[in-house]
Amino acid sequence: MIVPPEVSSKSKLNHLFAATLEGLFPNYCYLCGLRSHREQPLCHGCQDDLSANETCCSRCALPLSQAEPQLAQGNTPLQRLCGQCLASPPAFDRALAPCLYEEQMAFLLHRWKFHAERRLSTLFAYLWLSQVSKQLAIPDIIVPVPLHWTKTWQRGFNQSELFAVELRRQCRELRKVKLDTRLVQRHRATSAQSGLAAGERQANMRGAFTARRRCDNLRVAIVDDVLTTGATAAAIATTLRDAGASHIEIWCLARTPEPQY
């Protein structure tokens, strides 16, 4: 059982200290600008306005309509699978992406990645854990999506690594899991994925990653911020699968809907 982050990581004394700190240095909501009256820089109202990715593909977390058929496989629970996962299943086994990538979420992620608002890492981990705790299976290792060293130098940080660090800090069970930032190496700088079509994204990621050692029979969680076409996730998952991983999940905050042409 996964304990909600605010319960597992703070004692009554810590709560008292946090309340005192909030009184002296109040947090303000990133979306509406009003006091959030909580430890997170997002008020309850704006959090409720974030779109949840509730009806989605059981494999890649692509948002689906309620009309999509459910499939039963043996004695497993009913599952919804998108057409792409039915026709050509990805190298990973499951993606957990509890939020939809819409206007408010896009704004928060943009502030985080391109304006160095690193404290949003705490908020994102809180949101993720609050929504997926009942679905969470503890892996053997956690692997943040690596950036090429040039991108890390330009940005000053790897947002996926910050997210992974916060997930482990806020969840007692995940603290026991190794965070491995060296298992997968991004050995060539790729073009920016934004603006590329699905096929171009796959070609852009082909051969971009290398596993530095074997990970036979390990359960691996790959941590990223947003899952779009899944090209990056699939490339890393393929690399880890070739290195012996037995089960691979993608953990990200948000999932983009399927493009409408």
Helices (H), the chain: 5-8, 12-24, 44-49, 83-87, 103-114, 120-132, 149-155, 159-170, 198-205, 231-242
**Whole-number Å distance between alpha carbons of 28 and 30:** 6
Residue type, 196: L
Provide the domain limits for residue 187.
Answer: 52-65+91-255
Which residues, other chains included, contact 203 with Cβ-Cβ below 8 Å and sequence gap of 6+?
none
The pLDDT assigned to 22 comes to 56
Q: How many domains is the chain partitioned into structurally?
A: 1
Mean pLDDT (whole number) for 3-32: 63
Asked if the structure places residue 165 within a domain, the reply is yes
- pLDDT category of residue 2 using cuts at 50, 70 and 90: very low
Asked if the structure places residue 36 within a domain, the reply is no
- Per-residue pLDDT for 35 more than 90? yes
- The model's pLDDT over 146-168, given as tens digits with 9 standing for 90+, comes to 998 888 888 899 999 999 999 99
Residue 181's CATH number: 3.40.50
Residue type, 105: M
| DSSP-based three-state secondary structure for 251 | strand
Asked if the structure places residue 82 within a domain, the reply is no
Asked if the structure places residue 232 within a domain, the reply is yes
Asked if the structure places residue 197 within a domain, the reply is yes
Asked if the structure places residue 80 within a domain, the reply is no
- pLDDT category of residue 75 using cuts at 50, 70 and 90: very low
- Per-residue pLDDT for 222 more than 60? yes
Which residues, other chains included, contact 107 with Cβ-Cβ below 8 Å and sequence gap of 6+?
30, 31
Pairing of strands 219-223, 226-227: unpaired
Asked if the structure places residue 57 within a domain, the reply is yes
**Whole-number Å distance between alpha carbons of 12 and 216:** 42
What percentage of the chain's residues is helix, strand, coil (to nearest 5)? Answer: 35, 15, 50
Asked if the structure places residue 74 within a domain, the reply is no
What is the residue-averaged pLDDT of the chain? 85
Residue type, 101: Y
Burial track 222-239 (b if 16+ CB lie within 10 A, e otherwise): bbbbbbbbbbbbbbbbbb
